[in-house]
């Protein structure tokens, strides 16, 4: 099975760039850390209409769009996706095989739930938290 590989920094930069390029979401806050991702996705899941939750919700959705774009542009449809250079020594890799369609609420719930049992990832890059969360939910098949 052919795996497509994207270093963590490249996928993160693509995700951030894609999230910042959407004019509708210009007011969204930049998501850089796991804590920021969790907070923004909690706002999305709450669905309240106050200003902070609207901005947080937009940030979670923008991040998810950027990440999905990076994944889809870095692999053949249906192929597993690897993120490299994770962990304190940047020597860890995670692999996930996302479904053809993942809803915003599903992505947000996966990220928030994973962070509950892995609070050490809150101060890490958002990509590390999201990649590990997705790998936990949608692991790559064992060869």
State how far the alpha carbon of 135 is from the alpha carbons of 53, 93, 96, 120, in Å.
27, 10, 4, 17
Percent of the chain with pLDDT over 70: 75
Instruction: Give the model's pLDDT for residue 73.
Output: 83
Position 126 in a domain: yes
Q: What is the total count of domains within the chain?
A: 1
Position 143 in a domain: no
Indicate the pLDDT class of residue 30, thresholds 50, 70 and 90. Answer: confident
Position 72 in a domain: yes
CA atoms of 104 and 18, how far apart (whole Å): 16
Position 75 in a domain: yes
The pLDDT tens digits of the residues spanning 61-95 come to 999 999 888 888 877 777 888 999 988 888 899 99
What value, to the nearest 5°, has the Cα angle with vertex 77 and ends 71 and 80?
A: 60
Indicate the pLDDT class of residue 141, thresholds 50, 70 and 90. Answer: confident
SS3 85: strand
- The answer to whether 133 and 41 have CB atoms below 8 angstroms apart is no
Position 131 in a domain: yes
- The answer to whether 45 and 105 have CB atoms below 8 angstroms apart is yes
Position 99 in a domain: yes
Instruction: Give the model's pLDDT for residue 1.
Output: 42
CA atoms of 98 and 131, how far apart (whole Å): 10
The DSSP 8-state label assigned to residue 75 in this structure reads S
Could you give phi then psi for residue 81, rounded to 5 degrees?
A: -130, 130
Identify the domain containing residue 16 by its residue range.
Answer: 4-21+28-137
Position 142 in a domain: no
pTM, two decimals, is 0.75
Position 89 in a domain: yes
Please give the mean pLDDT across all residues of the chain: 80
């Amino acid at each position: 099975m052919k795996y497509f590989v994207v270093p963590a920094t490249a996928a993160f930069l693509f995700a951030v760039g894609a999230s910042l390029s959407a004019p509708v979401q210009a007011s969204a806050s930049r998501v850089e850390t796991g804590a920021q991702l969790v907070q923004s996705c909690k706002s999305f899941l709450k669905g309240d209409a106050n200003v902070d939750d609207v901005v947080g919700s937009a940030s979670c959705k923008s991040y998810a769009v950027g990440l999905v774009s990076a994944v889809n542009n870095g692999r053949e449809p249906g192929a597993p996706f690897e993120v490299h250079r994770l962990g304190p020594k940047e020597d860890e890799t995670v692999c996930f095989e996302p479904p053809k369609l993942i809803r915003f609420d599903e992505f947000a719930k996966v990220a928030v739930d994973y962070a509950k049992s892995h609070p050490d990832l809150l101060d890490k890059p958002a990509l590390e938290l999201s990649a590990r969360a997705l790998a936990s939910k949608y692991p790559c098949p064992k060869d």
